[in-house]
Amino acid sequence: MNKTDFIRKLRIELDFLTKEEREDVVKYYDEMIQDAVEGGQTEEAFIESLGSIDSIVDTVRKDSGFVKKVRNKLSPEAKEAISVTAKVIGYILFVFAAIFVIGLGCSFAASGTMMAVTAIVDIVADPTQAAMVLMTRAGQIILGAGLIILAISFFILFFKYAKKGMEKLLDKLQELLNKEDSKHV
């Protein structure tokens, strides 16, 4: 029996299911046959290996979770699409995070540098300022240096851990997809 005849007969015999359930089961078997043909088997031989349509219908009737399993089964193409999409979104988010961290780090570095330089220039320009003003300027220098160190820390931590973390997240997603697929085989 060829695929067209098999699918037509299967659709007729599954008339006890709702239209959506019937189409999900038919699509499932259609994809199985297509995958087998792409894998080098002949349509007729693979369809024969599935057993009779009556035995398939009996399995669907007896196994109340069969339709749910069929609906949850992701095709390799769907898994690949999800994986690629997740990677693209992950890298886009990584780029936005990198831009944010670079901007924040540059802002801290610029603010700290300006604060420290301004304080140093004020001290050098007028060393006879009151002690309180000199202490304020010294505090500005320390705060400016702290902002510069904070900016450098942002850069180091982000580029050291963010990409690794994103790659681990994407690997976990791939594991989850593979694990979900192995449950339904």
Model confidence over 13-52: pLDDT tens digits? 988 888 888 888 888 888 888 888 888 888 888 888 888 8
Q: Which amino acid is at 11?
A: R
In 15-173, DSSP assigns E strands to none
Lowest-confidence segment of 107-111, 136-140, 142-146, 172-176 by average pLDDT: 172-176
3-state helix, strand, coil in the chain (%, to 5): 85, 0, 15
Longest Cα–Cα distance of the chain, Å, equals 103
Q: What is the pLDDT of residues 55-88, one digit of tens each?
A: 888 888 887 677 777 666 655 666 666 667 777 7
- Name residues whose C-beta falls within 8 Å of residue 16's C-beta, 6 or more positions apart in sequence: 61
Q: What is the pLDDT of residues 141-170, one digit of tens each?
A: 888 888 888 888 888 888 777 777 777 877
pLDDT mean over 109-115? 86
Q: Is 14 helix (H, G, I), strand (E, B) or coil?
A: coil
Q: Are 6 and 29 in contact (CB under 8 A)?
A: yes
- Predicted local confidence at residue 77, as pLDDT: 64
Domains of the chain by residue range: 3-72, 76-183
Lowest-confidence segment of 2-6, 100-104, 153-157, 164-168 by average pLDDT: 164-168
- Whether the pLDDT of residue 180 is over 60: the answer is no
Rounded distance between C-alpha atoms, residue 152 and residue 146, angstroms: 10
- Predicted local confidence at residue 178, as pLDDT: 66
Rounded distance between C-alpha atoms, residue 164 and residue 168, angstroms: 6
**pTM (2 d.p.):** 0.44
Q: How far is the CA of 54 from the CAs of 9, 33, 72, 116, 183, in angstroms?
A: 10, 17, 23, 84, 25
